[in-house]
Amino acid sequence: MGSDLTRLYLLRHGETENHRGIFKYNGHNDVDVTEEGERQLAAQAERLKDLHFKAVYSSDLLRARKGAQAVAAKHGLEVRPDERLKEIHAGRWEGLSYEEVIQCYPGEAEKRFNDIVNYRIPGGGENLLDVQKRAIEAIDEIARRHRGEEIAIVAHGGTNRIILSSALSLPLENLLKMEQDFGCLNIIDYYNGAAVVKRMNMAPWFA
């Protein structure tokens, strides 16, 4: 790895308690992970144990911090939480399934999917541009701070998609064409302001 190249190992947290078999808008809700979620990140931590991480960062939400702790423990590091890496705030949809949103707030889901980049969910929700601003600010800062080093970050499905979209210079409108499974691993190289995505959505059992 070149002296100016920063390699980022970007993970999604493991399966969450309220997300088994059904999609829910967790957003900023501080939900815990399941036993399966813990196993997913433990497997990734084992996979990454022989790397030379200089730092492990995470969203400040519990589900991400737990995963980051599993990775950091293999390297004798403390997790560095950063609130800018949080999931998108889903406003009054937080904790609801898509079906519940349709039932409780008719028309809002259609408005969002018709303008997924700009639509803010009522009740204090963010849009994708809000998340992009804070998440990419964090990633740029971390990459500069750790120039020439390997680092790990554990964040969220939506946040990771935005980070990957930025690295690939893809429009945010295509965000949902990119999968981020629970416990997945992505690898991104940053070099003098340019990014190269080396791996995407690697499952814990993928060799």
**Catalytic residue positions?**
13, 87
Question: What count of other Cβ atoms lies within 10 Å of the Cβ of residue 55?
Answer: 18
Distance CA 81, CA 5 (A): 23
Strand ranges of the sheet holding 185-191, from the earlier edge strand across to the other edge: 79-81, 53-58, 150-155, 5-12, 185-191, 194-202
Question: What count of other Cβ atoms lies within 10 Å of the Cβ of residue 72?
Answer: 22
Distance CA 199, CA 190 (A): 13
Distance CA 20, CA 163 (A): 25
DSSP H helices in the chain: 35-47, 62-73, 98-104, 108-114, 128-145, 157-167
Instruction: Give percent helix, percent strand, percent coil of the chain, each to the nearest 5.
Output: 40, 20, 40
